[in-house]
Structure 1
């Protein structure tokens, strides 16, 4: 019997880098920042012709159930939503999801494609070509294949993947590297042997299980207890909260000798801050209009505007981020986009935080 392929979209994040739009009640993956659908829906749509409707799974937390359903029910089955009892990083998340797939009838030899839910990829054809090649490598070599993004500048905010010898349509992974300083990132770029780590993985289910067991037995020992208690919410929660928190990178990828990297044939943006929208939204009047109810610009350029319910006017100002909703207004220079986190930290300690975060 030919191997099936499943996709697992990890959608439980609660990031606030796009505050005030991204909050605990509506994280980034449920926002319509590019295109006309939320990022989660766009992620699922990219699997058209790759993975069947019934073989698409989403893992999230119960608090986001209505948000997931609103974004995905025409793209994947409601019953394929997996709820984590708590957020415990990506290794326990994947372990729980593997247990669920096996319970639903997946074979150890079937492939699973694990991707985040909140990245922007505009070249769907390139994405599907890359994933198809990664699937072929995973099947032939019985390895975990990670997708490497070809870097186009020395980014210090991403982890890197160093490639080794060529295998099939990819390369052996020499090693994973932590986020570098600027000089190290420049050296990585000039060598031509490094990729950005996008957190996308393709592997046979059995390989994921075996590599977890080999390199993180303190996590993998919970696989059977999870599998046996998937229908008992209380017991499942007790078990899940006993699993050590760890990322799949630390738990498996950085230790495994069964990892290849397939270079991406597509654009990629993890939308780490408001200024990242500039490269994925078409400019209007020399400004990036994400959403607005209308605008008037006079001698204003290079601004990023997100005011979905308001008319916005900008005169004699350049290179600003302007964001407003029914509760908050944020204005800051584009170059300081990361400082949104300072506002979030302030609100966490403020009486206003409960309402605004």
Structure 2
């Protein structure tokens, strides 16, 4: 009998949430959300309507995740090298029975309104049982430039759009038939592999070779390096004719940058001064003069000061530090 499997992807480092998020402990494992981490919340959220949990990630992520995974009916796949989401999901599909339904979820999203979420996921499972690849779109509430968009009509996808500039994002909202791309997917394992083979045969073949040649569950780093680094969006979702989108009404944020974290913490009662400035990570007295909507992030070895509207640019700072092999990562 086919199972419903929650495939949790946990390979990212959360570069836009540096210095809170580090390679040694990415953002999804930091207990910022009323004492719980995004990974912990992701596992719990999907337990009520899935039969198994399968996590795909690097060795450090697997070690950090282990205490939050179910004691039974859970499995981990340890990647030797990160090769993007198309390959990660291929590993999961190869580990499952062909008719198993995979609900693929990032491990670093915040979702509220559990009842609405479960209803939407069950609708996605029905489409997946019919052979469709399902993506879930979020009704946009602002002209967000940090998310991709889905142009849709009913449950049909008209187009996928990359992260827009502000003017384009405003135009999307004005048109009213665009959704934020949540990065959550649902499909049969076999259907995903069929479409991956159809559009990206090299990703399919090299991922299959890595999976089948594993020694004691250990993937070959040399073989893994041969897998083309492609996202599931580019490799399959933007090219297949089997796609359905479900407009979704649960509360969602990818928690990918400080503007999202700021909005969440503010709603939860985190202190903000009269000019909209916020301090994260310290109880020391901090005074902001002549600035507004600014976030100060304090850690033991680094301090970041960023304007809320520049939150996406933290990634560039992270990349600069990475280019200099900084120990601060």
Asked if Structure 1 and Structure 2 have the same fold, meaning a TM-score greater than 0.5 normalized by the shorter chain, the answer is yes
Residue 100 (structure 1) shift: 2.1
CA distance in 1, matches of 2:323, 2:79: 27
CA distance in 1, matches of 2:66, 2:321: 29
Residue 257 (structure 1) shift: 0.1
Aligned residue for 2:184, secondary structure, equals strand
Partner of 1:259: 243
Partner of 1:31: 30
Is 2:304 the counterpart of 1:330? yes
Residue 334 (structure 1) shift: 2.7
Please identify, of 174-183 and 233-242, the stretch whose mean Cα deviation from structure 2 is larger: 233-242
Which of 251, 273, 277 is 2:257 aligned to? 273
CA distance in 2, matches of 1:203, 1:183: 34
Residue 203 (structure 1) shift: 0.4
- Between the two proteins, the alignment pairs up a number of residues equal to 328
Partner of 1:303: 277
Partner of 1:225: 209
CA contact (8 A) 1:300 1:315 kept: no
Residue 314 (structure 1) shift: 3.3
Aligned residue for 2:111, secondary structure, equals coil
Residue 329 (structure 1) shift: 2.0
CA distance in 2, matches of 1:222, 1:349: 29
State the Cα RMSD in Å. 2.4
Measured at CA, do residues 228 and 85 of structure 1 come closer, stay the same or move farther in structure 2, by a change above 3 Å?
same
Please identify, of 262-271 and 311-320, the stretch whose mean Cα deviation from structure 2 is larger: 311-320
Partner of 1:312: 285
Partner of 1:44: 43
Residue 155 (structure 1) shift: 2.0
CA distance in 2, matches of 1:285, 1:120: 17
Gaps of 5+ in 1: 102-106, 289-298
Partner of 1:90: 85
Measured at CA, do residues 229 and 287 of structure 1 come closer, stay the same or move farther in structure 2, by a change above 3 Å?
same
Q: TM-score, normalised by structure 1?
A: 0.84
Residue 227 (structure 1) shift: 4.2
Residue 29 (structure 1) shift: 1.0
The CA deviation string for residues 301-354 of structure 1, in whole angstroms up to 9 with x for no partner, is 52222125x433436564321211211222333333334335434433557x12
Q: Which has the higher contact order (CA 8 A, sep 6+)?
A: 2
The CA deviation string for residues 182-229 of structure 1, in whole angstroms up to 9 with x for no partner, is 333222222222111111100011110111111111111235424432
Aligned residue for 2:203, secondary structure, equals helix
Q: TM-score, normalised by structure 2?
A: 0.90
Is 2:9 the counterpart of 1:10? yes
